[in-house]
Chain A
Amino acid sequence: MRLGGDGMVVGISIVSCCAVLVCTMFLNFYFDVVSIKNEITSELSMAFYNAQVSTAKVVCLVSGGCLLITSVVMLLFYIKHYIDIHKKELAILKALGYSNLKIAKNFWVFGISVLIGTATGFGGAFLLMPSFYELQNEDKILPEIAIHFHPSILFYFVVLPTVAFAAIAIFYACYKLKTPVLSLLKNDFHQSCAKAKKRSDAACNPSNRSFIADLKKNTLKSKKSLGFFIIFASFCFSAMTQMSFSMKDLSSEMMGAMILLIGLVLAFTTLFLAITTVINGNKKTIAMMRVFGYSHKQCCTAILGGYRPLSYIGFALGTVYQYALLRVMVDIVFKDMEGVPAYEFDFPMMLVSLAVFIFVYEMLMRIYSEKIKKISVKEIMLES
């Protein structure tokens, strides 16, 4: 089985890499800082110690968990997408007599993309760890914290996810392959009856909306997971950019830069994958619209326009998230620490971030609109 196609595999690797990088760094630090607990004597050091332990836990749980969920959703979405575009080949294998399990077993290779990501993240974390440890204890409040290798972290963050994701891929593929051969063989321009029937009741009320408005709504509804990815991408952009600048007084520049980098990588990777999938999945619709005489602008509005409100929702959620997270850190985690600067919502930073977000998003949509322009009507017809 060959992976690839639309770069979704790369996306899974990038998200897993970011998740493991952040979690390994903080968990390794957590284990190492816990091991020096007995050496702490002063009250100030203990308060600082408690704050560091809580920070590591919060970051691991919130950021790592968030990224882990995204990786799982992305992987499931990719397997579904992979099956959808290769269902004819899979149907032929089934028709030839291959069992579902035998075909699904080949999906273990999806674990490789996770392995590449997690291993890179794990290695990257160890590269960054010396500077990270130094920064976490730059005022030397705690005794010297040595970096130790914890095999359990390697197991839980690299080995286990790889095996688990490979197993998820096999079981999910097995589940999807339960579809009868004839349904798989049907042209992908047709939909399963069951799915269509589910919606038919809702669609029975004739709408007065224009075709473009209907198509916009339909594009959004047909692949809800893509909506999730758009929200997630803007969430990452909003939360990480604002957080990296808002916490400049609370943390080091390096932390800020790291958060900014991870946020931007995640945002752009997810956005790129989601929009590419939207366009690839609607190539035939776009081609037919152009055959019928719909303008380029109308095609873009119908296919991409519906995602704009979602991106703003994601931005708003990201803003709330970063504020809540920093508030929790300052009010709960660092409450016993002296000299922690007051934290207030950075409204100007939010406006700057929003302006940059709008500019970047619209530029990306412009690039993708050019991609839509290049879709060849003839090519689409020859594909069928």
Chain B
Amino acid sequence: MIEIKDISKSYGSGESRCNVLKGISLKINDGDFAVILGASGSGKSTLMNIMSGLEKPESGQVIYNDMDITELSDKKLVEFRKENTGFIFQQYYLLPNMNVDKNVKMGADLAGNKDYKAIIDAVGLGEKLHKYPSELSGGEQQRVSVARALAKKPKILFLDEPTGALDEQTGRQVLDYICKLQKEYGFTIIMVTHNLNIAEMAKTVIKMNSGKLSEIYTNKTQKTAYEIGW
């Protein structure tokens, strides 16, 4: 379980100081599919970055299995990320000089995962193992980044607007792959989005507004990627 206690974060100083997060507390259970929903500038990405250990808060705690990761040194944080987290970004951030196989290997090697090709097959890219990112469509690139994240067998998968750069059909396809793989592997999903429809796929929805939590609720039924609007 991830527990966040009274997290605050601000950028800038003096008059230009901007309080991005104002005392946020919440809990996310293992195996949950949580969506952090909010408009641009609401602080949702900063919250995700703090939850994943990419950024440190000014105050508050992020407790993961009784360990406060805000207290960890940079070295320990790297170890934490290595053992627990996977990331998928809107911009994919694939390594341009490496083919699909090697990009996925980036995640697989960290977990000593020799069977990572099964994940490439699972995201439907088995035939494109030797293609470079520039030779793939946006949707395919995002599926490589999904495979790369899952090849390291994460306990928590963080996704930052994973469909933001994709068209509707491809976006649905990518979300469908992620959901199917979650059912198979049982990891926790924490996804940041501004798309209200995607929130219908989640179990837990965390709404944010101006650096504060405005609402947290649980969906009684979770829709599939093909059932939601776009």
Contacts and interface: CB of A to CB of B under 8 A. Distances in A.
Are A and B part of the same complex? yes
Interface residues of A, number: 40
Interface in A272-322: 284-285, 287-296
Interface stretch (A37-45, A159-167, A205-213, A347-355): A205-213
Nearest to B106: A211
A294 B54 contact: no
Interface in A326-367: none
Contacts of B97: 191, 218-219, 221-222
Contact of B87 (A199, A210, A292): A292
Interface residues of B, number: 37
A277 to B, nearest CB: 15
Nearest to B105: A211
B96 interface: yes
Contacts of A370: none
B82 interface: yes
A377 interface: yes
Given A191-B97, A222-B97, A292 B133 contact: no
A224 interface: no
A206 B101 contact: yes
Contact of A191 (B75, B96, B109, B110): B96
B93 A293 contact: no
B89 interface: yes
Interface in A237-280: none
B134 A292 contact: no
A96 interface: no
Interface string B97-116: 11101100111111000000
A196 interface: yes
Contacts of A222: 97
B109 A200 contact: no
A112 B102 CA distance: 43
Of the listed residues A190, A210, A215, A384, the one surrounded by the most CB atoms of chain B closer than 10 A to its CB is: A190
A284 B93 contact: yes
B121 to A, nearest CB: 14
A296 B132 contact: no
Nearest to A381: B89
B82 A292 contact: yes
A292 B132 contact: no
A341 to B, nearest CB: 52
Interface in A101-148: none
A295 B75 contact: yes
A102 B191 CA distance: 47
A292 B96 contact: no
B95 A292 contact: no
B81 A292 contact: yes
A1 interface: no
Nearest to B102: A214
Contacts of B134: 186, 190-193, 195-196
B93 A189 contact: yes
Nearest to B54: A377
A221 B109 CA distance: 22
Interface of B: 49, 54-55, 75, 78-83, 85, 87, 89, 91, 93-99, 101-102, 105-110, 129-135, 152
